[in-house]
Structure 1
Amino acid sequence: MIKIIMSKILIIYVDIDDDLGKIGVDTPAIGEEKVKKAIEIASETIPTDSDFNTMVVAYNIYKKLRKENNNVEIAFISGSEKSNVESQIDFAKKLDKAIEITNAEEAIIVYDSPEDAKAIPIIQSKLKVIGIERVIVEQYRGVEETYVLLGRYIRKAISDPRFARIFLGVPGIILIIIGIFSLLNLTIYATPAILIVVGLALLVRGLRIDEYIEQWWENSTIMVIAAIISIISTIIGIVEGYYVGITIKVYDVSSVFEILTVILPFIVFAVVVLFGAKAISKVMNKDIKVWHDIFRIISIIIIYYMIVLISKNFEENIIGVQLQTMYTLSIITMVLVSLYVVFSIIEKRLT
């Protein structure tokens, strides 16, 4: 039993992945007439879907509260078919519009799926939530109904970009790997390769790395391209270091430096590419702090050459040159730190 209060209550049906948009319903749909029209369209297009049942439940709650003389309004609000973050941003914008139109102060949330539950914190940040109703639709377990339900999920897995990446993308990569390894008579390596692909897919999806990359791409395409180049460079460096390492029979300080000098150029290149891309992004945004990244690039290159010089001295076992190199490295470090402090002071004064 919901307590009768005088403040404006907004009944919100949450559709975070914009299933309403797929059937031609624009949101936010505010008010009884628009809501009834949306339910009518849903009854014709998705009559067996849980979304339709949830819409009806939200409307029934609205009618019940209005009959009890509550100050109540109803709205169907959706997000978008994009990534989780963008969908939530779209939902928040539409929610702001609904609040502005209705002048609501409190909310009752009606939803049906865990994905829709992501909208709850957004609503709580803008309205006082006095009720939450999750609609769980029971399904018949007969053979025919099971096939219908299975077909619906398969169709969603194929048509929805978020699910298609996993259900189509990963099997596609696996089939390509099997085909290529079969042509090259390397089927013995196919199983490890498939396990790596599946493991990476689970890791990427489980940690939502794909969403972060997508968001990062939209915010800064240059940085994503630079990150890909850096990862490739790092992998090549590790492989090169591995092949050098397996040829070494006795491991000592000089052999470690030998492996390091092989890997280090690739690592330095990867880091320089990242900082260079960041500097380009700042130049495009007219950010005065671009000098930070330029300074880092110069410092990394100088330190790299000093490490290479030290490693050569260790290989030749020249003690005097080693001491001179360490002295030079110390001087360069102090100069770089001093320059950084000076530039930081200048930046503060300019800003």
Structure 2
Amino acid sequence: MVDLLDKNKALMERMQRVAEAGSRVGPVNEKLLSPTRAMIDGRDTILAGTNNYMGVTFEASCIEAGQQALAEHGTGTTGSRIANGSYAIHEELERELAGFLGMKHCIVFSTGYQANLGMMAGLAGPKDTIFLDADSHSSIYDGCTLSGAQLVRFRHNDATDLDKRLTRMGDTGGGHLVVLEGIYSMLGDRAPLADFVEVKKKHGFQLLVDEAHSFGVLGPNGCGLADEAGLMHEADFVVGTFSKSIGAIGGFGASNHPLFETVRYSSKPYMFTASPSPASVATAIAAVKVLAREPERRDRLQSNSARLFHGLRGLGLELGCDEVSPVIAVKCADEPST
């Protein structure tokens, strides 16, 4: 009988090479010193990999809200949203997010990963087709698999390639969903949303924008790429996470579609998992309010991102893309230098 983990031996060898190079995957933060610093291996270390874009993890109002919810509601809900796990505080967060986005409906999921799993599985089915950017996040790919829909990939940020594939596909008798990301997490580049909207007008598909790394970051209202492009009305569905700008745990899907609330009952990742803890939900509510009343945080993030971007370029390093964003990737020549 074959050992199930035999296939991971090559992976183990790679991890050992990383360790021998004096680094490690998943360093442990022994003590948090601030939103951007921690003790790692006994050293005061800058957290260059943090997604704490708005710096709210130590925000006094967020901490106070979480502590109060913990005292009032306990440590967890012990149930799913369709059983005993829906509290008034969950619905309050959904209203807060819907208002922030200017949308009619919002569904809160237990994690950002589950938000994409749940949205893909709740929206699409075996008779439908999902078109997604080749650089899409793993949660999007896994959500497509869970949905049972046909999956068609198009070249990264290439609206012309999407147009060709839609034309070739024609009328399939099912729905067509196109999935984009506001900011792509590997290289930090944005989707050219206006180009894709032109293709949408031609073919009539429904559009989902994953604003995980762009919510709170882009746009005059901080709603993400669609907000920045002035195309919020073209995004049929928006997905986001709490683990970046909001500084908590959870995720959401939002829409103006009149039937969107039915996703609660067609999405297994929503139906069959415990709801987010009250403390995390309360923290998220407080954080969204901070984002709404302090837009200068976005300006400061943009300034800091630009400074780092141009500084790294000035050192002669090759960056992942030509756009300034809070995700800045440095390309390395080989695995050891990485």
TM-score range, shorter chain: under 0.3
- Please tell me whether Structure 1 or Structure 2 has the larger radius of gyration of its CA atoms: 1
Q: Normalization by structure 2: what TM-score?
A: 0.23
Q: Whose helix fraction is larger, Structure 1's or Structure 2's?
A: 1
Q: Which has the higher contact order (CA 8 A, sep 6+)?
A: 2
Q: Which has the higher strand share?
A: 2
> Normalising to structure 1: TM-score of the pair?
0.22
